[in-house]
Amino acid sequence: MARPRCVIKHHEDRELLTHVKKKTPDFPYRDSWRTFRILGEFVEGFDSLYKIDKGVTIFGGTRAPRTSPYYKAAEKVAYGLAKNGFAVITGGGPGIMEAANKGAYDAGGISVGCNIELPCEQIPNKYQTIKLNFRYFFVRKMMFVKYARAFIIFPGGLGSMDEFFESFVLAQTGKTQHFPIILFGSEYWDGLLAWMRSKMLKEGYIDKKDLSLLTVTDSPRQCVDIVVRKSARK
């Protein structure tokens, strides 16, 4: 799937992370005043999502076409979750995100899209019952985590890897309560997991119990059953 056309424009996240060599007279105040904009994004996110008690965050690649078996599986998973009373939370874009939002939307459930401003424009999908727009990745990531009872990660690129490992680290360090982290698509994930076992585990950088936090499946129904079963224990 082709990348979206890149339109470089004013971009808040990039400005925040850029070291400015030329310090204009108002420079000392720029980042400090930007904190109010960041605070505003947190407030908007919290106010929009605070009623969500049972949420599941679904990650996955933007480039998955609608004909992809992963797209269709994500749609089925989200549909099943919504029918069991779970809100589905995604990044709001195309690909796997669209599939998950569509599944929840078609089931009559809560379908949340946490959209992000990017230099290469992300086009929000049309299957969102709650649509949020963020300038800052770290604020958006907070919404993915705070309202989730499970993470489901479908195949994707660098963004999906970032979201997977951040979820994994939060669970491994006890920053989040223990809940399912499900990797969908064994063929896609097996190579990475084999490397983690042969390198990270073997050389002592992680423990065996860390890998036990992960579940791999190829079944949409099993995916839903795991979330429903483990959520009922809480």
Residue-wise pLDDT tens digits, 102-137: 999 999 999 999 999 877 667 899 999 999 999 999
Share of the chain above pLDDT 90, in %: 77
**What are the φ/ψ torsions at residue 48 (nearest 5 degrees)?**
-80, -30
Residue 7 has pLDDT above 60, yes or no: no
Give the angle 87-89-91 at the CA atoms, nearest 5°.
165
* pLDDT computed for residue 1 by the predictor: 47
* pLDDT computed for residue 177 by the predictor: 81
Please tell me the distance from the alpha carbon of residue 226 to that of residue 81, in angstroms, as a whole number.
10
HSE-up of residue 142 (Cα within 13 Å, Cβ side): 16
Q: Which CATH number describes the domain made up of 23-232?
A: 3.40.50.450
* pLDDT computed for residue 26 by the predictor: 59
* Residues in contact with 161: Cβ distance below 8 Å, sequence separation at least 6, in sequence order: none
- Provide the CA 179 distance to its chain's centre, in angstroms: 15
Residue 180's nearest CA partner among 202, 224, 149 is: 149
The pLDDT of 38-65, averaged and rounded, is 96
Three-state DSSP at 212 gives coil
Please check whether residue 134 is in contact with residue 37, taking contact to mean a CB–CB distance below 8 angstroms.
no
150's enclosing H/E stretch is strand 150-153
* Residues in contact with 138: Cβ distance below 8 Å, sequence separation at least 6, in sequence order: none
* pLDDT computed for residue 16 by the predictor: 61
Please tell me the distance from the alpha carbon of residue 13 to that of residue 31, in angstroms, as a whole number.
11
Domain boundaries, the chain: 23-232
Angle between helices 96-106 and 69-83 (to 10 degrees): 40
The pLDDT of 139-143, averaged and rounded, is 95
Residue-wise pLDDT tens digits, 190-204: 999 999 999 999 999
Average pLDDT, the chain: 89
